A = this chain, B = another copy of it.
Amino acid sequence: MKTLADSLFAELDQVVLIDSHSHINPHQPASKDLADLLGYHYYTELAHSSGMLRSDIEEPNLESREKVRRLFGFLGHIDNTVQWSWFLELAQELFGFQGDVINESNWQDVYELALARMNESTWEEQVLKKSKVEKVFLTNDFDDPLEGFDTNRYIPCLRTDDLVFHLTNETVQTRLSRSTGHAIDTTKSLRDSIGVLFERFVSKQARACAISLPPWFQPVKHNDSSPRLSEALQQVLKAGIQADDESKRMLSEWVFWTITEFAEHFKLPFDLMIGVNRKVYPNGVFQGQDLYDSRISLIQYQELLNAFPTVTFPISVLASVTNQELVDYAWIFPNVVTHGHWWYSNTPNFIKHDLKARIEAIPRNKQIGYYSDAYKLEFILPKFRMYKRILATTLAEDFCVARRWSEARAVELGSQILRGNVETIFKVH
C-alpha cells in the first residue's frame, strides 16, 4: 500500500541534485573496489568500536580483499546502524546486488560484483546519473591548483581550517608562501597571501569557502596594525605549536576574520561547520578520533554575524542540542542559513528532529536541506535517499495532513529545500 509519504518521496527522488558539500576527489571521484568504500571512516571506526583492532585495519600495504575480509569479521556488529544501511542500499542500487544481507557468507560475491562495475570506464557517469547528481561541491586545500577537472561539475570550495588553526605548523606556512608567492612574516603579507588564494579560487569558479570550528572558538576582530597581533604572529612563526595559547588563539581569530572579509569582498558564502574537537580519541582509526563538547552556543558568533550582514553563512552544527539555536539564529539573522545535517547529527532520528524544527519556523528560502559530505560518489545516493525519505514523511505529516497542503505544494517546498536554495544561495545553476 503506497502511502502519501511514499508518493512524495517518489517525486522528490526525481529532483536533480547539487551536492553543496563533499570531500570528493575530482581526480578519482568514484571507488575502485570495495575496500575503497568500506575504508570510509564510518565503517572502520564502527568496526573498531565493536572490537576490531586498529592495527588489523590499518596494517600497511594491506591488500584490498584481505582488508575487506578482516572487516567482515566485525561488520555483523554494526548491521543495525544506518551507516551500514547506506552500504547495503548502494550495493543494491548501484551494483545490482539482489539480497537483503551482506555478511561473512557472501561478501566475496559482492566484492566481485562491485569490482566488475567499477572497472567499467563509464562508472563515474553511471553513478552520477543513477544518483541524479549534476554538480558536487568539493573541499579543497588552500594550495590545490584546481586543475585537471571540470570545475563546472566539481565546484571548488576553499577549505580554510589549515589557515585558521594550523599556521603553527611549518609545513602549512611553507605551503602557503609557496602557493601564493608571498612571504607571510607580517599581517600585511599574510593578508595579501590569503587574498591571492581567494583570487585563484574565484577565478576557478569556487562558490564557497568553508571551515570546521571547535566548540570553544569565538570570532573576534583584531586590527591588522595591533602590536599585540604582530607579536602573536611572530610567536607562532617562531615557536609553532609551542607558541603560547593566547598568541595562537589571537592569530586564529585574526585569520578567520580576515578570511571573512575576503568572503565579503568576493561575495562568497562562508560555510561554518561548528562544534568539533579533533583527536579526542587519538588511538582511534584514521578520521575516527574526533568528538565534541556539546556545550556551545551560537551567541559566540554574535559579533561576526552583526559585522558581516552581506556575507551569507550556511551553518552546520554538530550536535542536535544546538539545532534550536540554529533555527532561531536563522529566523532572526538575514545572513544565517541552515545547512544540512552534519556528521554525528546525520542519523535519521536526529535529522527528523532537526528538520521538523527548521521547516516550520525558518523562511523557506533559507534552508539548504542536505549535503552528502561523501568521500566517494557512491555514497551520495543512499545518504540523500535517507534524507529524502525523512523530508517526504515530514511534508506528509506536518504539511499535507496537519495543514491540509496539496501534494503539489508540498513537493514544491521540498524541491526548494533540496535544490532550489542551493542554486540561489551559492549562485550556481
Contact = CB atoms under 8 A, between A and B. Distances in A.
Contacts of A170: none
Interface in A387-429: 389, 398-399, 402-404, 413
Contacts of A83: 361
A78 B50 CA distance: 42
Given A282-B306, A299-B277, A299-B280, A46 B363 contact: yes
Contacts of A399: 80
B320 A324 contact: yes
Contacts of A305: 281
A85 B399 CA distance: 11
A301 B129 CA distance: 46
A349 B357 contact: yes
A66 interface: no
Nearest to A364: B80
Interface stretch (A182-190, A197-205, A284-292): A284-292
Contact of A325 (B306, B319, B362, B398): B319
A361 B366 CA distance: 29
A302 interface: yes
A320 to B, nearest CB: 5
Interface of A: 45-46, 48-51, 77-83, 85, 100, 277, 280-284, 288-299, 302, 305-306, 309, 319-322, 324-325, 327-334, 344-345, 347-350, 353, 356-357, 359-366, 389, 398-399, 402-404, 413
A348 B291 contact: no
A360 B45 CA distance: 15
Given A79-B364, A360-B347, A294 B277 contact: no
Given A283-B306, A331-B46, A363 B324 contact: no
B80 A281 contact: no
A331 B295 contact: no
A288 B49 contact: no
A125 to B, nearest CB: 29
B77 A364 contact: yes
A45 B334 CA distance: 9
A332 B363 contact: no
A295 B296 CA distance: 7
A299 B280 CA distance: 8
B281 A306 contact: yes
Nearest to A390: B402
A275 to B, nearest CB: 11
B331 A292 contact: no
A234 to B, nearest CB: 32
A294 B324 contact: yes
